[in-house]
Chains A and B, each alone.
Chain A
Amino acid sequence: MALLKTFKDIGNYFREIAEGVASLIRGMKVTGRYFVKPSEIVTQKYPENRAELKMFDNFKGELVLLHNDKNQHRCDACYSCERKCPNGSIEVISSRVTGPDGRTKRVLDKYVYHLDSCTFCGLCVEACDQDALAFSQEFEHAVFDKSTLIKVLNHPGSTAEPKEEEHKETKE
């Protein structure tokens, strides 16, 4: 009886080894398979593939103030983006200007955007009633000087787009 048990133990000993080796070979088959299949390589050569590297449309790269081809933006300095921003990344600087029709309205002077503190939550774009803001697909944000991350979003010399009637209607 004891002899039988010993034989059983010896059998188990070798079975254990065989099973272990089999499991190791299964693992090696996986890595070996990928070794002979270069088509499975997923990494890319980054700076070389810049041309075909397109971000998705929704990608939140950095905030931009949209300008049309006449260098006009749609911001009416309502401050809703600045109020919505959770960490004070947006500073809207505006002044009151009296127009030729005698009505006083706010005019955007400077739209300061702190890219260094922006967390890309997207609340500013959601908050904008005028659809003046959007996120660009720019993703290469690394700079040598931190101060260059503080950006003025309205282009030099830009003016507010005159509000068209139809635009107003859709709003109402």
Chain B
Amino acid sequence: MYDFAPLIDSINTWLNGHLSPLWAGIVSMVLLGVAILAFYAVLGLYLVYAERKICARMQNRLGPNRVGPGGLFQTIADLIKLLLKELIYIQNADALLFNIAPFIVIVASIMAIGSIPFAKGLQAVDLNIGVLYILAISSMGVIGVLIAGWASNNKYSVIGAMRSGAQVISYELSVGLALLCIITYAGSMQLSEIIKSQEDGWWLFKGHIPAVIAFVIYLIAGTAETNRGPFDLAEAESELTAGFHTEYSGIKFAFFFLAEYMNMFIIAALATTLFLGGWLPFHIYNFTFFNNLMDYIPPVIWFFTKTAFVIYVMMWFKWTFPRLRIDQLLALEWKYLLPISLLNLMVISFLTLMQWHF
């Protein structure tokens, strides 16, 4: 049920039947690009809206409520405003790098979306090294941040960019190691294979306590990698005004802003895919009626519900905790997360070797 593969295949055959293979490839790529871009824009805007509503509720406020019912179009109005705003040119800034930085950040996050499986067959590319690809691409974004900080010709921006560099280099390790735990369990880096391996239970549940530890570490390190509070040192509003994007205005600022939310989505989507069974429905062992009922809910909804939950937890972090200091941030990684994840990985390797997982 709800398999998207036949649909995609039929489109493909139709294209190939009517066009030469070259043109079929180009058209399918364009279609895919447009679909991903549209998805990106809509999702980014509504994540911003969701964050504003969630933080408002946590702070006893109403949140956006003016544009559209319940403020639903507020972020669209904001986007239009940002599009119309003047792009301020900074004197003595490195013009090329200054202009290219927001695009690097946003391209990195768009590329990562390409290999995320939203449902069965609904995946742009199913690489056999999917996890590695997403890790590699999502850490490209930090180059954009570094360039932005450097090219702005602003002392605050440089500090923000340097912080961001140190932060992402450190936390990349923990993210990698936490994901490696699941790769060890599943025995594959291909995202579709990892989901298939969870058909009899999500790794979070059947991976014993080490999987739970890996999940928590992944959440913490993932939050850090997206530069979000309590790890938002690169922006650190109260210290560095706005950190690396202090000098950006208009749509270039919006790019950084959207990329932050999309990175959060990618981190959450990866957590869903690896730990929470991706688009697989929730099953309880041997409870057939309940399991069948769950099967009726489309996998896309399952995927987005799980992702939304992880995103909510990340927002909850941001709106509760104070910000860490740069040395504490690095201490948290090197003294706590890294040793624990190494130990955790060892335990998981042992469990896998002995075939002790369910």
Contacts and interface: CB of A to CB of B under 8 A. Distances in A.
A and B from one complex: yes
Interface of A: 17, 24, 27-28, 30-32, 34-35, 38, 40-43, 45
A43 B57 CA distance: 11
B128 to A, nearest CB: 37
Contacts of B54: 35
A146 B149 CA distance: 43
B241 interface: no
30 contacts: A17-B336, A24-B320, A24-B321, A27-B320, A28-B316, A28-B317, A28-B320, A30-B320, A31-B58, A31-B316, A31-B319, A31-B320, A32-B316, A34-B57, A34-B58, A35-B54, A35-B58, A38-B57, A40-B60, A41-B57, A41-B60, A41-B61, A41-B62, A42-B60, A42-B61, A43-B60, A43-B61, A43-B62, A45-B62, A45-B65
B75 to A, nearest CB: 19
B12 interface: no
A27 B58 CA distance: 12
Given A30-B320, A34-B60, 17 more contacts: A24-B321, A28-B316, A31-B58, A31-B319, A32-B58, A32-B316, A34-B58, A34-B59, A35-B54, A40-B60, A41-B60, A41-B61, A42-B60, A42-B61, A43-B60, A43-B62, A45-B62
B194 to A, nearest CB: 28
Interface residues of B, number: 14
A38 B61 CA distance: 9
A17 B60 CA distance: 31
Main DSSP-derived SS at the A contact region: helix
Main DSSP-derived SS at the B contact region: loop
B158 to A, nearest CB: 31
Nearest to A33: B58
Contacts of B319: 31
B336 A27 contact: no
Nearest to A30: B320
Nearest to B216: A21
A30 B316 CA distance: 11
Contacts of B316: 28, 31-32, 35
Interface string B315-358: 01101110000000000000010000000000000000000000
Contacts of B321: 24, 27
A31 B321 CA distance: 10
B234 to A, nearest CB: 22
A43 B56 CA distance: 10
Contacts of B59: 34
B355 to A, nearest CB: 29
Contacts of B320: 24, 27-28, 30-31
A30 B62 CA distance: 18
Contacts of B58: 31-32, 34-35
A24 B59 CA distance: 17
A32 B54 CA distance: 10
Q: Output the residue of B60, B61, B316, B336 with the most chain A CB within 10 A.
A: B60
